Amino acid sequence: MTMNDTFLKACRGESTDYTPIWMMRQAGRYLPEYQKVRGKVTFLELCKSPELCVEVTLQPIDIFNMDAAILFCDILIPMEAMGLTLEFHEGRGPVFPNVVRDQNALDKLIVPDPDETMGFVMETIRLLRRELKVPLIGFAGAPFTCATYLIEGGSSKVFWETKKMMFTAPELFHGLMEKITRCTISYLLAQARAGAQALQLFDSWAGILAPTDFQEYALPYVERIIGELQQTGLPIIYFANNGATLLEYSARSGADVIGLDWRINIGDAIKRVGNKAVQGNIDPFALLLPKEKLRQRIRNLLEDARDAKGHIFNLGHGIHQFTPPDQAKIAVDAVHELSQRS
Ligand code: CP3
């Protein structure tokens, strides 16, 4: 089976015939094909069923011709393996009924053996590798983002409890980050052993931190994870959402590829991250533009990214659940066509 390795080449900064594209959350609710599978099971049941995970992971590859697949799972699955109860409530998202806000709760968290507790993830990866003709991205949440969910008990807008812990109980906060970090390292190493071909760390909430706090409370753990993952030889992608003010620091994380949200011009970002590949960064809502305007925006973005060491086209964050799939198709085709170099 011949493998389309354009994505991996771009991650490594090697020249490619065209700019590869995939979309964060490409397997998800905007696809009727996903809804059909999801209609039969809960989200957590889906995450724990390797056959169904394979099916939904492959959907966007088959439908749109994406240049990379991302494992279907969730960043909060390892938090459940650490011993916490995880629920997904319709319309509210993830909920942890037992929050981690004191030493007692922290002491109860375990650093799980990923193969024993999350064997379904490794099985999904092994099955996918038999099917896929494009590279498979494994992933985890970055420790800060995971910690916010455990401390807040779910999604948040102001992150009061998280910052309260950082500033009034720093030892507790660092203790929690330490445990999540150890869990994440062994989890991602297990994904690599199972066959993942690149690894992405999602730091969805890094952008709520002042640069000085990002450096003190979040980045050291990201650096440690990436340092440990380097033994795999796989490209590592670090995506800090809302991270334009943190770019110089993110670039020092050790990642091979820096993910960019849409709030910054990609050319400006490339100048700031230096000799690194970048991934991004069209506004997910720009997929709603009429075809010609969308194509023009993509043409401009590709042009602005011309000096990148490598460029993987992506959205600046996950695709929104109400995006018409036809619009995603227009974007993928436009990137493939407009970036042709040979
Ligand atoms: O296609 C892919 O990108 C792979 C699968 C994937 C999911 N979640 C599936 C999912 C990935 C990579 C994630 C990452 C994830 N999960 C992040 C980081 C990226 C980001 O969006 O910032 C975060 C913060 C989570 C936590 C999470 N999971 C939330 C907040 C929610 C609910 C909010 C929402 O968007 O509905 C989820 C649920 C979730 N994860 C869904 C999917 C497809 C929807 C679940 C459903 O089918 O009802």
Task: Report the candidate in 310, 339, 314, 341 with the shortest Cα–Cα distance to residue 8.
Answer: 310
Q: Is 25 a catalytic residue?
A: yes
| Of 190, 199, 196, the residue nearest 115 (C-alpha) | 190
**Closest atom of ligand 1 to CA, residue 93:** 32
- pLDDT for residue 342 is more than 90: no
**How far does residue 74's CA lie from ligand 1's centre (Å)?**
6
Question: DSSP secondary structure string, 172-226?
Answer: HHHHHHHHHHHHHHHHHHHHHHHT-SEEEEEETTGGGS-HHHIIIIIHHHHHHHH
How far, rounded to the nearest angstrom, does the alpha carbon of residue 82 sit from its chain's CA centroid?
A: 20
Q: What is the mean pLDDT of residues 258-262?
A: 98
Query: Cα separation of 114 and 76, whole Å?
Result: 13
Round to whole Å and give the CA distance between 44 and 22: 24
Could you give phi then psi for residue 323, rounded to 5 degrees? -70, 130
274-299: average pLDDT: 97
Backbone angles phi, psi at 91, to 5 degrees: 80, -10
Plot region of 163 (φ>0 → left; ψ -120 to 50 → alpha; else → beta): alpha
pLDDT of residue 15: 96
Report CA(57)–ligand 1 centroid distance (Å): 13
Closest-CA residue, ligand 1 atom 5, reads 72
Query: With bands split at pLDDT 50, 70 and 90, how would you rate the model's confidence at 92?
Result: confident
Question: Separation of 311 CA from ligand 1 center, angstroms?
Answer: 24
The answer to whether the CB of 300 falls within 8 A of the CB of 333 is no
Count of Cβ atoms closer than 10 Å to residue 278 Cβ:
25
CB atoms within 10 A of CB 200: 24
Atom 36 (ligand 1) nearest CA: 93
340 alpha carbon, distance to own chain's centre: 26
Confidence (pLDDT) at 1: 58
Q: What is the DSSP letter of 318?
A: P
Report pLDDT digits (tens) over 141-156.
999 999 999 999 999 9
CA–chain centroid gap for 32, Å, is: 22
Residues with CB under 6 A from ligand 1: 24-29, 38, 43, 70, 72, 74-76, 93-94, 139, 155, 202, 204, 241, 318
DSSP β-ladder status, 236-240 and 198-203: parallel
In the predicted model, is pLDDT for residue 96 greater than 90?
yes
* Region 29-39 average pLDDT: 98
pLDDT over 90 percentage in the chain: 98
Q: State CA 105 to chain mean position distance.
A: 27
Residue 63 pLDDT > 90, yes or no? Answer: yes
Ligand 1: which residue has its CA nearest to atom 39?
74
**pLDDT the model gives residue 90:** 87
Q: Which residues pair with 280 in a beta bridge?
A: 313
